[in-house]
């Protein structure tokens, strides 16, 4: 399955933001490795939808909190595709239950951090080493890059899901660290920081967010859509922002703007 097409691996891409990113990259001619914790049977609907766009996609099951599964994902892409042009670290989990900071359990903390932060860190490490090796192979059109999906929760306090905020704050530093370390190899690293995006993750508080947005929480008065994040990822894949390695793209409807 060696390919001359640019190859993108997108974690957590069976639905939501990751699925939209996979769609967008397929539309732009990438060979896309779709990945999530679900087995192939559960991922079939998502893959059928993507294959209506292009057959240039495969599914590899991966729970990024698991070391062996992380290694298998990157090794499989490297051996089967022969290149990895883009890694989009999108996989992440929210707390199973929102709990006050004074009641948060170690179990919940470990679950969220193991996936969102540790998983992302070591996915960056695995992909970076693979990309460095590929750099030496003079692959045609090879412009590797890593894009981490963060969150406004990296700097906004939510005391009923503190473990999630901590995990996303950590991703911001992961991005800076790898951008610094990989600059000498010409591998830019970026973060896209979504705001309030209409996905399953906000289903339990969706009405609250809609009301807040309509009351002026964001200058662009609507919930974000997964496509909004996918468009930011695509811009970072273009190569036109590579000199800005380490930057955060705030895809949040202007939420980050301090206003009076």
**Which residues are annotated as catalytic?**
164
The string of DSSP letters for 37-59 reads: SS-TTTTHHHHHHHHTT-S-EEE
Which helix H or strand E contains 214, and what residues bound it? Answer: helix 206-214
* Count, residues in the chain: 260
Instruction: Name the nearest CA neighbour of 8 among 23, 232, 16.
Output: 23
- Beta carbons of 123 and 174 less than 8 angstroms apart: no
How far is 79 from 1, CA to CA, in rounded Å?
Answer: 9
CB contact at 8 A, 68 and 58: no
Burial track 146-181 (b if 16+ CB lie within 10 A, e otherwise): bbbbbbbbbeeeeeebbbbbbbbbbbbebbbebbee
* Separation of alpha carbons 42 and 23, rounded Å: 18
How many Å apart are CA 55 and CA 52, to the nearest integer?
A: 7
100: CB partners within 8 A, 6+ apart: 159, 160
């Amino acid at each position: 399955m060696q390919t001359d097409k640019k190859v993108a691996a997108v974690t957590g891409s069976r639905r939501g933001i990751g699925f939209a990113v996979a769609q967008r990259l397929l539309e732009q001619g990438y060979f896309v490795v779709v990945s999530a914790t679900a087995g192939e049977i559960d991922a079939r609907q998502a893959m059928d939808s993507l294959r209506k766009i292009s057959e240039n996609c495969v599914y590899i099951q991966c729970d990024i909190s698991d070391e062996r599964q992380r290694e298998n994902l990157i090794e499989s892409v490297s051996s089967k595709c022969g290149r990895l042009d883009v890694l989009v670290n999108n996989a992440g989990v929210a707390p199973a239950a929102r709990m006050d900071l004074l009641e948060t359990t170690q179990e919940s903390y470990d679950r969220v951090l193991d996936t969102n932060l540790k998983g992302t860190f070591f996915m960056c490490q695995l992909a970076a080493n693979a990309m460095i090796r590929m750099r030496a192979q003079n692959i045609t059109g090879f412009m590797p890059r890593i894009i981490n999906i963060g969150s406004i929760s990296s700097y906004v306090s939510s005391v009923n899901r503190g473990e999630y905020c901590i995990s996303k704050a950590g991703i911001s530093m992961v991005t800076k660290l790898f951008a610094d370390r990989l600059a000498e190899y010409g591998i830019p690293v970026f973060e896209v920081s979504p705001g309030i995006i209409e996905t399953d993750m906000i289903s339990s508080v969706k009405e609250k967010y809609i009301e807040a947005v309509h009351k002026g929480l964001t200058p662009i008065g609507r919930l974000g859509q997964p496509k909004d994040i996918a468009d930011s990822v695509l811009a970072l894949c273009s190569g036109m922002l590579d000199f800005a390695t380490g930057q955060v793209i705030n895809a949040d409807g202007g939420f980050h703007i301090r206003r009076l």
